[in-house]
Amino acid sequence: MRKRYIHKKHKCLVKDCQNYTSRKYCFLHKRRMERNLPMDLSFDCRHLLKGENNVNWKGGIAKYPNHYLMKKNRLIKLQQTKGKCEICNKQAYEIHHKDGTKENHLLSNLIVLCKRCHSLLHTGRKNKTSKFKRLYGMTIDELATKTGYKPGTIYRWHKQNRLAEFINFNA
């Protein structure tokens, strides 16, 4: 039988540091070493990791306009659905904008999804017509059969924002 190696936990090598690690230095001091900052505990480097000095800095531009409203409505929507995915009913933490934009944060435009269902909506791996089902109530093939046109034509009309008016005209 093979012997398993168990990492021993010991104190960080920096003087007066009380953190435990399986390596020489704890996470804090490892980061300080990577950034060529002083290793002693008297020097507080937290202010150096804020704003433009942070490795995750993206120029001060938020991913969503009115980010506060989106986060607030996300929490409300999660409470309404009791944290369950609106497609598969599993535990969920993510929200999805039905209209596909990042500007409309109304509760009626948000749905709660688990990670799997959310990725399927964006990539369409399993169901390439999910956005058509969501927007028009039918898959692209069903729309093609109903209208008598090819799926490529249906897709082109969708891209030109002409499909909704055409479906309503033929209804």
Does one domain contain both 71 and 93?
yes
Confirm whether 77 is domain-assigned: yes
Residue 17 pLDDT: 78
One domain, residues 71 and 102: yes
Its domain, for residue 76, covers 67-123
The total number of structural domains in the chain stands at 3
> What is residue 75's predicted lDDT score, i.e. its pLDDT?
92
Q: Evaluate whether residue 62 is within a structural domain.
A: no
- Residue 135 shares a structural domain with residue 116: no
The pLDDT value recorded for residue 125 is: 45
- Spans of the chain below 50 pLDDT: 125-129
Residues 113 and 92: their CA atoms lie apart, in Å, by: 5
Q: Is 112 in the same domain as 77?
A: yes
The 3-state DSSP class for residue 39 equals coil
Tell me: do 94 and 110 sit in the same domain.
yes
Task: Report if residue 60 sits inside a domain.
Answer: no
The whole-angstrom separation of Cα 29 and Cα 35 is: 10
Residue 88 belongs to a domain with what CATH number? 3.40.1800.10
Taking alpha carbons only, the member of 156, 113, 103 closest to residue 134 is 113
Alpha-carbon distance of 50 to 155, in angstroms, equals 46
Is there a single domain that holds both residue 135 and residue 163?
A: yes
Do 138 and 116 belong together in one domain?
Answer: no
Cα–Cα distances (Å) from 165 to 68, 136, 169, 171, in that order, read 34, 11, 6, 10
DSSP string, 47-106: GGGSGGGSTT--TT--SSTTHHHHHHHHHHHHHHTTTB-TTT-SB--EEEETTS-SS---
Return the residue matching tokens 């990492």: 7
Q: For residues 130 and 126, what is the distance between their CA atoms, to the nearest angstrom?
A: 9
